[in-house]
Amino acid sequence: GPALLFVKTSQGKEEGRRFYACSACRDRKDCNFFQWEDEKVSETRLAAREEYNRSHQPSFTHRQNVDRYKNFVLLPSSKRRFCQECQQLLLPAEWEKHSDHQFLCDITTAQLKSPSQLLYPLENKKTNAQYLFADRSCQFLLNLLTDLGFRRVLSVGTPRLHEMIQSKASQEEQFGVRSLLLDIDFRYSQFYTEDEFCHYNMFNHHFFGGETACETCRKFLCEENGEGVIMVTDPPFGGLVEALASSFKKLMAMWSETEKGGHDNKEMPMFWIFPYFFESRILDFFPSFSMMDYQVDYDNHALYKHGKTGRRQSPVRIFTNLTPSMIVLPEEEGYRFCTVCQRYVSSGNQHCEICNSCTSKDGRRWKHCVLCKKCVKPSWFHCNNCNCCTLQKHSCEKTDVGCFVCGKAGHKRSACPSLSRA
């Protein structure tokens, strides 16, 4: 899809040179697209790009994949094969072409309903970072959504939640929740129809299926005059918050375009699942959001696991624009309700009388620093040279160089006024 516009800055210079690069791949090895904003591109180079794009298209369209799936489920289990190298469901006529590949045989209906367990997770941190919810977190989210009365879930980059909803809906007639999956992983088109899955890039709000797919999403959001829908998103943690926020606001705008004059400036309900240390960045773009203490964990990530202690606990949290008191966290896992903060907090998150808030972000009990006038991590100590709390083993040497962009002291690059103007 469309590239994003970045700026390359030099130390001490206010003006940087702007360039276009891939929105999804941050490693030039995965996508070598690069173009200066003021660069004139020759016809030959444009033609080469078009040819490169054509050669990297999927083998089948979404419609073809849906038709193939219909034929695949009619086969007896002995003839159902899945190529692990091509990550593709195989019809008997295609076996010969994949004869030297590794493949799984006797694919069951249960496996077809759980494609996230059949497909290899794409774990390149700089491109896909496809970490999948553990059953504990997935079940908690689904129970929470149903308890809150939501009937439709826009699952943006959350394939495991989507398939759990799909599976439950097919098994229980009275289960009234539906899901639409938006994901950049086109492999899911083999298992879901155009009404269940849209090939989507959350970094540039691009629907690969064009206006038809965009309209599918719009209709899903605007059913029942927009009532009963929530967006749940789990982006790659290395992604630019600015780009993600821009796309999410566009999805919210789709929802607010419903009939009867919109929703009186209300925001579409949303769960943004992201590490707690991005809190300030998320609140910059969504001031109405607050962070919940619930630790989200993943099946295929060594560090983001529930039940560990101290710094080994999962740092992933739920950011939401719903009223915090509505988000009931499981007491059997140690969460409790703080009557002052009017929200559920983790057992180690003790209420600070001075801050008048439950201040811990990482699950450990934080301590109040009178000099800093705030609570800090238990491993931090106040340094009189730095005039702030920091790790005990740190360097007090202060550099004379200030902001990387303009060279002035008093602020960091991310808060540089020059960068904001650009």
Residue 91 and residue 318: Cα distance in Å, rounded? 41
Residue 188 and residue 190: Cα distance in Å, rounded? 5
What confidence score (pLDDT) does residue 68 get? 96
- The answer to whether the CB of 358 falls within 8 A of the CB of 345 is yes
Residue 362 and residue 170: Cα distance in Å, rounded? 38
Q: In one letter, which amino acid is 27?
A: D
Rounded (5°) CA angle 117-158-74: 45
- Sort 279 into a burial class: Cβ within 10 Å, 0-12 / 13-18 / 19+: middle
- Sort 269 into a burial class: Cβ within 10 Å, 0-12 / 13-18 / 19+: buried
Q: How far is CA 139 from CA 50, 134, 149, 236, 318, in A?
A: 44, 9, 16, 21, 14
Quote the pTM value: 0.88
Letter string b/e over residues 176-185, b meaning 16 or more CB atoms within 10 A of that residue's CB: ebbbbbbbbb
For CATH 3.40.50, the residue range(s) in the chain are 135-347
Q: How far is CA 378 from CA 307, 357, 395, in A?
A: 19, 16, 19
Who contacts 237 (Cβ-Cβ below 8 Å, separation ≥6)?
A: 129, 274, 275, 278, 316
Who contacts 209 (Cβ-Cβ below 8 Å, separation ≥6)?
A: 62, 194, 198, 199, 216
Residue 301 and residue 123: Cα distance in Å, rounded? 9
End-to-end CA distance of the chain: 24
What confidence score (pLDDT) does residue 418 get? 54
Predicted confidence pLDDT, tens digits, the chain (422 residues): 899 999 888 776 667 889 999 998 877 788 889 999 999 999 999 999 999 889 988 989 999 999 999 999 999 999 999 999 999 999 999 999 999 999 899 999 999 999 988 998 775 544 555 678 888 999 999 999 999 999 999 999 999 999 999 999 988 888 889 999 999 999 999 999 999 999 999 999 999 999 999 999 999 999 999 999 999 999 988 889 999 999 999 999 999 987 544 556 689 999 999 999 999 999 999 999 999 999 998 886 555 555 554 446 788 999 999 999 999 999 998 899 999 999 999 988 999 999 999 999 888 889 999 989 999 999 899 998 888 999 888 888 654 455 655 656 556 666 665 554 43
* Total residues belonging to the chain: 422
Who contacts 92 (Cβ-Cβ below 8 Å, separation ≥6)?
A: 75, 79
Residue 362 and residue 375: Cα distance in Å, rounded? 12
For CATH 3.30.160, the residue range(s) in the chain are 62-107
**What's the CATH architecture for 135-347?**
3-Layer(aba) Sandwich (3.40)
Helix (H) or strand (E) holding 246: helix 241-256
Q: Report the CATH number of the 62-107 domain.
A: 3.30.160
State the CB neighbour count (10 A cutoff) for residue 332: 5
Specify the 3-state DSSP secondary structure of 215: helix
Residue 316 and residue 294: Cα distance in Å, rounded? 8
